[in-house]
Structure 1
Amino acid sequence: MRKLYLAATALTAAVASQAWAQDTVAPDNADPQSTTPYYGTPAVPQPAYPDSSATQDAPVVAQDTTTAQPVNYQPIPLAPNPNEVANHSGIKFRGLRVEGDIGWTRSSSNHVSGRNNMGYGGTLGVDAVVDNFFVFGVEGNYWNPSKMWENNAGSNMNVGSQGNNIGTTAGGGYSARKAFEEWDATLRMGFLATKDLLFYMAGGYASGKQRNLYLNSAGVATGKYVGWSNGYSVGGGIEYSITQNFFMNAQYRWTQFGNHTSRARATLGFGFRFP
């Protein structure tokens, strides 16, 4: 009976020691081949989520607290105003134009200056702009001296007198020449000093109606010839755009008909340019 009791006690101790060994955790440096049981700290189950201590022990990422410097962006140029471009490119001096002219005029014959007079006329032309600064055009002009001054004699003599524009003929007679209307076809070239101001020159063909009156030594008319005399006209002026369509100009013209008659005129013109 005593032996049975001792055997039961030994078996119970062996089973208890085996269970205790399974509930303990061996240290990292424990020898896996060792047969010696380790009676250490019982294994403690780990929580499903890390506690606050694990969060506090996490490495802290440094933050850049320096002030951001502004980027030096280059400004993008704005698109130019279409009206300004149009003005600078000479849109005011492009296209069909019509104008009326009035001013001073004086004709000369056989190198003898006539009398001062007033005149009136008109111009029809068309212009084009090249390289935004140069204006080229063609135009037709009409000019007619009136009889407002010098005893209604215009730029010529009174019949029967020996005033201006009289040339002596054979036999002691006289020849008086009188200039009437004039038609010109000219080219115009100019430079845009500003978007509204044009300096220009003009020149071309001219044809004028004239009358040649022959008188004897007593001043009695013995014959008359009326016809057209051809020549050239040159001049220049300045033109200013008042608005997009209305303009004004001032110019001087010199016309030479053959080798016998010439005309000078200084005029003011007011006109309209079609859009």
Structure 2
Amino acid sequence: MMRKILLTSVAVLATSASAFAADLPSRRQAPPPYLPPPPLFTWTGVYLGGQIGYEWGREPATLVSSQPSGVVGGAHIGYNYQVQQFVIGLEGDVNGTSYTGSAFSVLGPISASTKIPVDASIRGRVGYAWDRTLIYGTGGVAFADIKDSFVTPGAFASFDRTRVGWTVGGGIEYAVTNNWSVRAEYRYTDYGRFSDAVFAFPLNHHSTDNRVQAGFSYKFDTFAPPAPVLAKY
């Protein structure tokens, strides 16, 4: 009789211990790994890049009128700031060009040529972004080193001047990654009116050009807004 009581008590204690152990939290199970959220894309930041394209224009003067054209390419640097879907920024670029043109005067044996070996600009940018696609307008101050030369039998004249004008245009830019983007752009530039006296003839100029170009940029994250902080559990 005593033996049965002891066996029954041991069985009850074993069952109670198993149930209590099942209710205890497991210390062997590792917590789920923390996966940080992917960084949010923003157009905000400093960027640096390059561009290449083609430009064509007009160089009308009193005696001669040429239509120069050529390849243009260089580098740009800028800063964008995004507020919701609107993007504002400032950009500067410097280019080397093969922009040249020549013409002959119908009034006499005078030939003329025009070259712009270097140009630059400082422009504002305003755009509207659909996530990684940005459509923008741009405009500002343009600079150019304009070289004009005139040849007639027995005489030669040349002028080298730096002109300041204005430029305006627009484009579309797409962010391939959070840092790299590509763009396509059109700009019209007007360097204003100026005059020379060549072989005792007054020459009045008005230099304008158009350009289409493609480019790329790398955006640095130094001045970009920080990613949101999420609590770890």
TM superposition score category, shorter chain reference = 0.5 to 0.7
Distance in 2, Cα, partners of 1:222 & 1:264: 29
Give matches, 1:38-49, under 5 Å: none
Q: Partner of 1:190 in structure 2?
A: 127
Q: Partner of 1:137 in structure 2?
A: 89
AA in 2 matched with 1:267: Q
Question: Counterpart of 1:98 in 2: which secondary structure?
Answer: strand
- 1:150-203 deviation line (CA, Å, top 9, x unaligned): xxxx5312xxxxx3xx5578x7534433222111010000001x2100000000
AA in 2 matched with 1:133: Q
AA in 2 matched with 1:270: F
Q: Partner of 2:135 in structure 1?
A: 199
- 1:112-150 deviation line (CA, Å, top 9, x unaligned): 5524422211110001012x110000010112213xxxx
Give matches, 1:89-108, under 5 Å: 91=42, 93-108=43-58
Q: Partner of 1:156 in structure 2?
A: 101
Question: Counterpart of 2:91 in 1: which secondary structure?
Answer: strand
Distance in 1, Cα, partners of 2:124 & 2:116: 24
Q: Partner of 1:73 in structure 2?
A: none
Q: Partner of 1:38 in structure 2?
A: none
Q: Partner of 1:266 in structure 2?
A: 212
- Over 3 Å counting, the alpha-carbon distance change for 1:177 and 1:116 in structure 2 is closer
Q: 2:92·2:121 contact (CA, 8 Å) conserved in 1? A: yes
Q: 1:99·1:270 contact (CA, 8 Å) conserved in 2? A: yes
- When the two structures are superposed, what TM-score results if normalisation uses the length of structure 1? 0.57
Measured after TM superposition, the shift of residue 265 of structure 1 is 1.0
Percent identity over the alignment is 26
Q: 1:136·1:190 contact (CA, 8 Å) conserved in 2? A: yes
- Over 3 Å counting, the alpha-carbon distance change for 1:187 and 1:243 in structure 2 is same
- 1:62-106 deviation line (CA, Å, top 9, x unaligned): xxxxxxxxxxxxxxxxxxx9647x33xxx1x11100111011112
- When the two structures are superposed, what TM-score results if normalisation uses the length of structure 2? 0.67
More strand by share: 2
Distance in 2, Cα, partners of 1:175 & 1:199: 40
Which of 112, 116, 123 is the matching residue for 2:76?
123
Question: Counterpart of 1:243 in 2: which secondary structure?
Answer: coil
Q: Partner of 1:225 in structure 2?
A: 159
Q: Partner of 1:248 in structure 2?
A: 182
Instruction: Name which structure has the greater RCO, CA cutoff 8 Å, separation 6+.
Output: 2
Distance in 1, Cα, partners of 2:118 & 2:46: 24
Distance in 2, Cα, partners of 1:239 & 1:82: 26
AA in 2 matched with 1:156: G
Q: 2:59·2:68 contact (CA, 8 Å) conserved in 1? A: no
Q: 2:191·2:207 contact (CA, 8 Å) conserved in 1? A: yes
- 1:228-275 deviation line (CA, Å, top 9, x unaligned): 011001110000000000000000011110131112111110110001
AA in 2 matched with 1:123: H
Q: Partner of 2:59 in structure 1?
A: 109
Question: Counterpart of 2:100 in 1: which secondary structure?
Answer: coil
